Chain A
């Protein structure tokens, strides 16, 4: 399609826009593969993905804009998307539409045609549309829009080259397009719009087109209204007076967009027979049913953990026994010429820390893969819907369920996953609750220790401990909502996408990006803390019984007495779980020094009474978040909330532990 070959490589910046559930991520992943960089938008906690690749002699910078339903200033994502287009002025913007949900997904395009960037339309999921008896004639749509429209099936890599060709062509000849069709207002509102635009011309910073700014002011956009009030107060007074006479202007703007969309859809799309029942409808009779939906969710839940433990745990054990331990002993042997502390630092501190990070990875990869699959198929939205009524008890709604769910894998991505919650209050409450979700690391500790302490009744104990965690989570949610937030809640509106075949590449990149973020974020914290804890256990003379750690342990041991365990080593093991939850076992191993012929579990079991052991496991499950989670909370909510979380969980865990100890001692169990 590009006729002239470029003399030298040219760099083009192309932005990718689209509503959620239009397959935008798949398009981005297909085009960039591993050449993508995932970070945050400057100064924001919104994920920014960019990719650079060579295509037909061009260097393409592809910028994935946040998926948004519209471009009002209602959310951070929407502000970022429109600010990027206005300020950075990309050479072209690819707008993705979902052919199976054309009417709704055109709404974002109705906003984008008012911005100055050259547009190309990618019509995705034409296969899904066809399966649902919907046919979109793309040339009719293109003619009606006055924009190039390229049909694609992103999940099968069909049409993406044509889409890229069209984007390059548009970027090189932005003026070459036909006249673009734009939404209109009622005549009386159109007149106000034109007069307002005339008043604002030359008054606003250069990158705000006056027509667009005028439209946003009429729409009641808080950010642009504030800008106009600041930059052109006199113009604002005039516009405000007009708006007082026409209070329904903002409704007419949305209405005008949909009238424009209806004309396009009527021209370009053949609809299915009314009342035809699709696969999605049939599956949803069960998957979103108030009772059977819960049964399905519990089944999915069980399957996730079954898959995670059966697939990942053998790999974790192999890593520990087959890689980390030999590596540590090899390094201490080969460092025998150096002072003993060097060998200790390298083999116990550094390699131990790396091993800890590594041991997380198989579990996280499996968990994320299953989760990415459920997300890509379209199930997660149903899970949120089914849980909505229960989340209401805590003043939250269905959306908050997803990050809590993620927390079962690891609390760190759970905390970062709260970004999907628009309302700040709901988001903060969810962040506060996530550390109460037992993550895989904590589960691995109690599944190791419970059989040692309780033998045959171990499964009962494990279930009981998980139940205690979830119960406290629910109670805390209800209480905080009642006291701090006074029962307020925000609107629950969520799209329920059509079920579709998952795309392996999308899932693989989801796993890759999430795992990479974990290693980069939490890995560093874990490594540093591992070295610090090693130093505490070494200084001054290399004997742990005389170390600083032992002194700290002895100092806080009285607390342990209240909870039923007098041994300072148990307390130190608990404290070390601050670094990473599964550390408890490693620390116990070091402190009790595994003697020949005695397993660690038997040695520990002999030192504790049953109520004491139960109290220890309870505290372990509820204890302060691990260092990586605290770092994530600080990043997402601020230091105050991170401190509040630590204080709250410290209090809760100690109180619950004491309660368990005294109740079970009293029962005489």
Chain B
């Protein structure tokens, strides 16, 4: 049954290797890549840039459009730690780059 159906079409255009990940710009549609948030900053997820597999996998860890995320640790390189839906989740830098968020502004310390 070699018919196309939606998620496979999304698959076909989804980035596959890390080299292609850099095609995701750091800002898009007025939103920022999650990896741009510094520690303590909050934001709401606008969109997850990726194929069906990546999007559903992120969803099982709590990353869905509209949810609030808090950056717990970001040293400008390497992986980040994010608080989402009450849980701490470590994300590779490339994965964090694929999540577009709207900043809430600095957290009052």
The answer to whether A and B interact is: yes
Judge if A54 is at the interface, Cβ distance under 8 Å.
no
Q: Contacts A74-B53, A102-B86 given; indicate if A254 touches B5 (C-beta within 8 A).
A: no
Chain A neighbourhood of B105, CB < 8 A:
none
Chain B neighbourhood of A58, CB < 8 A:
none
With contacts A104-B84, A220-B6, A385-B90 known, what are 11 further pairs, Cβ within 8 A? A103-B62, A244-B5, A250-B55, A258-B62, A281-B72, A284-B73, A389-B79, A492-B91, A493-B90, A493-B95, A495-B87
CA distance A70 to B59 in the complex (A): 9
A74 touches B79 (CB 8 A): no
Chain A neighbourhood of B90, CB < 8 A:
381, 384-385, 388, 398, 492-496
- The interface size of chain B toward A, counting residues with CB under 8 Å, comes to 45
A290 touches B55 (CB 8 A): no
A495 touches B88 (CB 8 A): yes
Chain A neighbourhood of B81, CB < 8 A:
284, 288, 385, 496
B17 touches A388 (CB 8 A): no
Chain A neighbourhood of B6, CB < 8 A:
220, 243-244, 247, 250
A70 touches B17 (CB 8 A): no
Which residues of B, 1-50, contact A by the 8 Å Cβ criterion? 1, 3, 5-7, 10, 16-19
Q: Contacts A389-B79, A487-B17 given; indicate if A72 touches B56 (C-beta within 8 A).
A: yes
A240 touches B64 (CB 8 A): no
B95 touches A491 (CB 8 A): yes
Judge if A69 is at the interface, Cβ distance under 8 Å.
yes
- Total A-B residue pairs with C-beta atoms closer than 8 Å? 135
Chain B neighbourhood of A489, CB < 8 A:
17-18, 94
Q: Contacts A72-B56, A492-B90 given; indicate if A251 touches B3 (C-beta within 8 A).
A: no
How near does chain B come to A235, taking the closest CB pair, in angstroms? 12
Interchain Cβ contacts under 8 Å between A and B, 16 examples? A72-B56, A74-B53, A107-B62, A237-B3, A243-B6, A251-B59, A388-B78, A488-B16, A488-B18, A489-B94, A492-B79, A492-B95, A493-B90, A494-B89, A495-B89, A495-B90
A398 touches B56 (CB 8 A): no
Q: Contacts A385-B90, A492-B92 given; indicate if A104 touches B54 (C-beta within 8 A).
A: no
Chain B neighbourhood of A219, CB < 8 A:
56
Chain A neighbourhood of B87, CB < 8 A:
101, 103-104, 495
Chain B neighbourhood of A243, CB < 8 A:
5-6
Chain A neighbourhood of B84, CB < 8 A:
104
How near does chain A come to B31, taking the closest CB pair, in angstroms? 17
Chain A neighbourhood of B66, CB < 8 A:
255
CA distance A250 to B48 in the complex (A): 13
Closest to B75 in A: A290
Q: Contacts A102-B86, A284-B73, A397-B92 given; indicate if A491 touches B56 (C-beta within 8 A).
A: no
Q: Contacts A388-B90, A489-B17 given; indicate if A254 touches B59 (C-beta within 8 A).
A: yes
Encoded as 1 (CB less than 8 Å from any B CB) or 0, chain A from 213 to 238 comes to 00000011000010001000100110
Q: For B54, B92, B108, which residue has the most chain A Cβ atoms within 10 angstroms?
A: B92
Judge if A486 is at the interface, Cβ distance under 8 Å.
yes
A488 touches B59 (CB 8 A): no
Q: Contacts A250-B7, A495-B89 given; indicate if A220 touches B52 (C-beta within 8 A).
A: yes
